[in-house]
Amino acid sequence: MGFVSEDVNLSLVTLASMWALYLLSSQTGRTQIKNMIFKLRLSVSVVLHLLFSRDKKWNKKLIQDPDCIANIEGTSKRVIFIRHGESDWNDIFNRGFGPMFPVRLIRGLLTELLSKFTTRDSIFVDSPLSPLGIRQANELRAFLKGKPMNSDPEAERAFRLLQGDSSVGSSVSVSSTLRRAIATGAVGLQDRVNRLDEQMLISSDLQEISGNPDTIALAQKGGCPDLDYLSKYIDGFSYDSFDPSSLNIGNKPVRGNGLTRLRRFANWMFTRNEETIVVNGHSLYFKHFFNTYLPASCSHPVRTKKISNCGVVSFSIKKAMHNNNVMFRIDPTSIQVVCGRIA
């Protein structure tokens, strides 16, 4: 038995040595090693966020009621929020914790370990669109080829802007650094992109507000994540359609909080010359945005409910000074559902 054990151990060492030699001797192997080191470092960040994240923790009671600038003259922007389609993370964790949950979780873990570990891809970290999410993004594209479902003039204007109709005003498209938001905008708004020949800006300030692994970006500072799979869904796909150079400042800090990003993004919108800001982002971020900048007296459903996957909501936000402080206020009467629902 001792000889058998020694033979098995020797075989395992030989196989490990051959695998290590392969990794070190080929370009593919060296890339895989770099990816594994990247993943290990990212895993440390994921654990720290899970244990110590304060992303959702700030004193909401200290936020001044935006109604203090209701009657103060200021400048306004129109904003269009587009929530991403369903992600692989949603597919695993948001379908209930019944008897199929362990099956979904184990399948995801096995996929992560066996086919993702040596790549810059992941099921759990910066979770991408699921097959259903891709279909939802394509449904958004198909919806924008038709007629608006909301007859309100501002909702119709938002609809036409998403089609790429510049005759109804100027606009710029910006996305979170997370892949599901970028992919939703790239697939759902590809006709707009082709019509305007525009670049989607990639901003860290739109990173989702949560400590979960799916809110940690794979994109490094100033860069894009791996989006090669989108070539299956977008004719003539090119990374030239994205600009992460100035607004992607890297992953959110463990001890930071989402309010910092909300305020930075609100300020950034008013540095733009465009009349409308098209935002590809996330449900919790949008809820926090509404809760921060809607008047305290407003009880609109966007405060407590989520925009549906690939749903679109349009609204107006004002910037004004109050007691030497920059303040922002969303006009509750301006909120329009352009696509999908709030539920």
Q: What is the pLDDT along the chain (343 residues), one digit of tens a residue?
A: 444 455 545 566 566 665 555 555 667 777 888 888 888 888 999 999 999 999 999 998 889 999 999 999 999 999 999 999 999 999 999 888 888 899 999 999 899 888 888 888 999 999 999 999 999 999 999 999 999 989 899 999 999 999 999 999 999 999 999 999 999 999 999 999 999 999 999 999 999 999 999 999 999 999 999 999 999 999 889 999 999 999 999 999 999 999 999 999 999 999 999 999 999 999 999 999 999 999 999 999 999 999 999 999 999 999 999 999 999 999 999 999 999 999 9
The domain spans of the chain are 2-52, 60-88+129-339
- The whole-angstrom separation of Cα 72 and Cα 319 is 9
State the sign of the Cα–Cα–Cα–Cα dihedral 305, 173, 163, 270. Answer: positive
CA angle 84/87/211 to nearest 5° reads: 90
Single out the residue of 210, 225, 186, 214 nearest to residue 88, CA to CA: 214
Is-contact 270 193, C-beta < 8 A? no
Over the chain, what HEC string results? CHHHHHHHHHHHHHHHHHHHHHHHHCHHHHHHHHHHHHHHHHHHHHHHHHHHCCCCCCCHHHCCCHHHHCCCCCEEEEEEEEECCCEHHHHHHCCCCCCCHHHHHHHHHHHHHHHHCCCCCCCCCCCCECHHHHHHHHHHHHHHCCCCCCCCHHHHHHHHHHHCCHHHCCEEEEEECCHHHHHHHHHHCHHHHHHHCCCEEEEHHHCCCCCCHHHCCCCCCCCCCCCHHHHHCCCCCCHHHEECCCCCCCCCCCCCCHHHHHHHHHHHHCCCCCCEEEEEECHHHHHHHHHHHCCCCCCCHHHCCCECCCCEEEEEEEEEEECCEEEEEECHHHCEEEECCEC
Task: Report the Cα–Cα distance between both ends of the chain, in Å, rounded.
Answer: 64
Is-contact 229 134, C-beta < 8 A? no
The per-residue pLDDT for 214 is 96
- The whole-angstrom separation of Cα 259 and Cα 59 is 10
Architecture of the domain delimited by 60-88+129-339: 3-Layer(aba) Sandwich (3.40)
311: left (phi over 0), alpha (psi -120 to 50) or beta: beta
